[in-house]
A and B are shown apart, each in its own frame.
Chain A
Amino acid sequence: MRGLIVGLFIVMCIAQLAVPGKMIWDRENIVSSGTPYKFRTQPIDPSDPFRGKYITLNFLADYGYDTGEWSSGESVNVVFETDSAGYAKVNRLTRDEPDGPYLRTTIYYIDSDSIVHFTIPFDRFYMEESKALPAEQYYNQSTRDSASVCYGLVRIGRGQAVITDVFINERSIVDLVRGANDGN
């Protein structure tokens, strides 16, 4: 019986370390070698009871045109490309595993005009608790200027993606809020 418990203990420890370990390993790989894309976005400020404050990002490139037979909840591989302004846009949606970087996600819903909306799994950007709300306010102020642009820098690997920073007019939102706080 004791042997069984010790065995279970070892398996438990490995599993408890392996889950965060695998998460770290996968993301570190993407951060170091994933292809960077700029996703145009809008930030808002919610909160998670365990993981703290974050800004939710509403990405504009969350749909593609495809006449294929897709259904809600189905898995899809999305290949992105860069538009003339340098921002990410959907190149194609596919069920097969494409060459190069792609995002594996699920179909959210399909418009009647063959517009396929999919979920964006990197829609959270965690910030220090005192900075999430000012970040949103800063964004709102900046959007009064129509030339202002907000985008998330996302690195995409083979199926997974990591958002590494959010920029407003080419300045990191973390630095902007820090600068505003220091100024106070």
Chain B
Amino acid sequence: MSKHLLRALPELVAAGIIDNETAERIRLHYEQKDGASSNRLFIVFGILGALLVGLGIVLILAHNWDDLSRITKVVIGLIPLLVGQVLTGWLILKPIEDRAWREGVGAFLFCAIGVSIAIVSQAYNMGGSLADFLLTWTVLSVPIIYVLGSGIVVMLCLGGATWYACELSYFSYLGTDAAPMYWVLLATIVPYYYRAFLLPQRKNNFYVLISWMFVISLSICLATVAENTGRLFMIAYMSMYSLFVMAGESDMFKTGRVLSNSFLVVGSLGVISILLIASFTDFWEWESTPDGTAYKLIGMAVIAGVALLAVVVLFRQFQSKGWGGMNTKAFSFLFFIAIYFIAVQTPLAGAWLINFCVLALAIYTIRSGARQNHLGILNYGLLIITALIVCRFFDTDLSFVLRGLLFIVVGIGFFAANYYMIKQRRARS
């Protein structure tokens, strides 16, 4: 596009549509834009290069060279760490602010830390689980985030912390251990996220990627503290997803595009998914008998804590925005908590109420999409209705004719709504 425009500039000047000064300003604008984009590419390739070299060293040393003595192996394993540290020192003492260098060296140093611990473990045949290994690696890497201000290291540490929590809580032999250090690691990363992105409102690619990792990581790891609370823990998840929706709608986390707003996307999908799961009568009939005492207390405290936080944030957002400015999904956790206590007594009534909630949210989403003239949001609302009908498809108490008719109605709805909106857009333009 820019090349076409630049080529057309002399013609536009000759025709008297723009003057020489404007033509020069357009040329300069595109030159600067090209510069920024090539710098971005340089950062991406710097990170990729450093990660590939670092992981390559990890794999080469994982071969466990028998011919090398123990001390030789250890010394070789520590060399990448020293190289990474010297490069980091050079970057901060010089100081060099170039992003590509800082991100590349950060990624390399991260890998080098893993190499150094791995080689010592190999050389001395140390046991220890993969979770311990990942924890040590991530803990030693967190300072790089603050020293170099490296976005890629934030992502790698988030990945490491998540993997550690999964190893300990989901993948281990018994799979019942909580991962308290996950929350400590998260607490050490969040201040950087706040200071580097939220406070200056810097919504760059790193912000988007880190935010996505952050919400996915929380979605995976919240259940690590759920032990023995059973179905009740769904309240914690529902409250967390409602919080995500509220965060996604706030100025602090808002981004220009829907897909880059991970809080809103994951929050909204999370709310709908839980409601769809809870729309089955079986979900409420399933006998969830929590047992254990001490560990259950932690789970209960988490449920109460997250729900309370959601109430506080909801109240504050409601005060500043009022009914009109609120996303209905932000209230979902309140409805869910209320329905929960009805449903555990009378599962059928609870399931019906949840179905009604999903339908209401779908209609609200369709209305919101139509008002904003946003085809994506409109179709999302229609998809929610479709998902609800598919779920009901598995329930045997509805007749085949009725289910068939529902599908036809929604299919026509899809076509009609999209047709109507596109037609309106054309009429406006």
Q: How far is the CB of B223 from chain A (nearest CB, A)?
A: 22
Chain A 93-134, CB-CB to B under 8 Å as 1, else 0, gives 000000000000000000000000000111111111101000
Find the A residue at minimum CB distance from B109.
Answer: A16
Report how far A128 CA is from B116 CA in the complex, Å. Answer: 18
Q: How far is the CB of A59 from chain B (nearest CB, A)?
A: 11
Given A9-B147, A17-B81, decide whether A52 and B126 contact each other with a Cβ distance below 8 A.
no
Q: What residues on B are CB-neighbors of A180 within 8 Å?
A: none
Which segment, of A20-28, A60-68, A83-91, A143-151, faces chain B? A20-28
Report how far A128 CA is from B136 CA in the complex, Å. Answer: 24
Q: What residues on B are CB-neighbors of A48 within 8 Å?
A: 62, 130
Q: What residues on B are CB-neighbors of A120 within 8 Å?
A: 127
A78 in the interface (beta carbon within 8 A) = no
Given A2-B95, A23-B126, decide whether A129 and B62 contact each other with a Cβ distance below 8 A.
yes
Q: Please state if B118 and A50 are interface contacts (CB–CB under 8 Å).
A: yes
Main secondary structure of the interface of B (DSSP, over half): helix
Q: What residues on A are CB-neighbors of B74 within 8 Å?
A: 20, 24
Find the A residue at minimum CB distance from B143.
Answer: A12
B424 in the interface (beta carbon within 8 A) = no
Chain A 48-61, CB-CB to B under 8 Å as 1, else 0, gives 11111110000000
Q: Please state if A121 and B127 are interface contacts (CB–CB under 8 Å).
A: yes
Partner of B118, one of A31, A51, A124: A51
B224 in the interface (beta carbon within 8 A) = no
Q: Please state if A50 and B64 are interface contacts (CB–CB under 8 Å).
A: no
Report how far A74 CA is from B124 CA in the complex, Å. Answer: 25
Q: What residues on B are CB-neighbors of A5 within 8 Å?
A: 92, 146-147
Report how far A129 CA is from B123 CA in the complex, Å. Answer: 14
Q: What residues on A are CB-neighbors of B65 within 8 Å?
A: 128
Q: Please state if B66 and A178 are interface contacts (CB–CB under 8 Å).
A: yes
B78 in the interface (beta carbon within 8 A) = yes
B312 in the interface (beta carbon within 8 A) = no
B125 in the interface (beta carbon within 8 A) = yes
For this complex, into which size category does the number of interface residues on chain A fall? Answer: 35 or more
Q: Please state if B116 and A16 are interface contacts (CB–CB under 8 Å).
A: yes
Q: Please state if A6 and B93 are interface contacts (CB–CB under 8 Å).
A: yes
Q: What residues on A are CB-neighbors of B130 within 8 Å?
A: 48-50
Partner of A16, one of B113, B119, B123: B113
Q: How far is the CB of A127 from chain B (nearest CB, A)?
A: 6
Report how far A27 CA is from B126 CA in the complex, Å. Answer: 9
Q: Please state if A121 and B122 are interface contacts (CB–CB under 8 Å).
A: no
Given A8-B146, A9-B89, decide whether A124 and B125 contact each other with a Cβ distance below 8 A.
yes
Q: How far is the CB of B128 from chain A (nearest CB, A)?
A: 7
Given A9-B92, A49-B130, decide whether A16 and B64 contact each other with a Cβ distance below 8 A.
no
B114 in the interface (beta carbon within 8 A) = yes
Report how far A122 CA is from B118 CA in the complex, Å. Answer: 15
B133 in the interface (beta carbon within 8 A) = yes
Partner of B117, one of A19, A52, A127: A19
Q: What residues on A are CB-neighbors of B146 within 8 Å?
A: 5, 8
B349 in the interface (beta carbon within 8 A) = no
B63 in the interface (beta carbon within 8 A) = yes
Report how far A123 CA is from B130 CA in the complex, Å. Answer: 14
Q: How far is the CB of B88 from chain A (nearest CB, A)?
A: 7
Q: Please state if A50 and B66 are interface contacts (CB–CB under 8 Å).
A: no
Given A50-B58, A50-B133, decide whether A23 and B124 contact each other with a Cβ distance below 8 A.
yes
Report how far A123 CA is from B126 CA in the complex, Å. Answer: 8
B351 in the interface (beta carbon within 8 A) = no
Q: Please state if B147 and A50 are interface contacts (CB–CB under 8 Å).
A: no
Given A2-B95, A8-B143, decide whether A19 and B88 contact each other with a Cβ distance below 8 A.
no
Given A20-B116, A162-B124, decide whether A129 and B147 contact each other with a Cβ distance below 8 A.
no
Q: What residues on B are CB-neighbors of A15 within 8 Å?
A: 140, 143
B121 in the interface (beta carbon within 8 A) = yes
6 contacts between A and B (CB under 8 A): A12-B147, A19-B140, A20-B120, A121-B126, A123-B127, A128-B64
Since A23-B121, A54-B64, A126-B123 are in contact, a sample of 10 more A-B pairs with Cβ atoms closer than 8 Å, ordered by chain A residue number, is A12-B147, A16-B85, A19-B140, A24-B120, A27-B124, A50-B130, A53-B64, A126-B64, A129-B63, A131-B66
Interface residues of B (CB under 8 A from A): 58, 61-66, 74, 77-78, 81, 85, 88-89, 92-93, 95, 113-114, 116-128, 130, 133, 136, 140, 143-144, 146-147
Interface pairs A-B: 10 shortest CB-CB: A52-B62, A12-B143, A27-B124, A126-B122, A128-B66, A121-B127, A20-B116, A51-B118, A23-B120, A20-B120
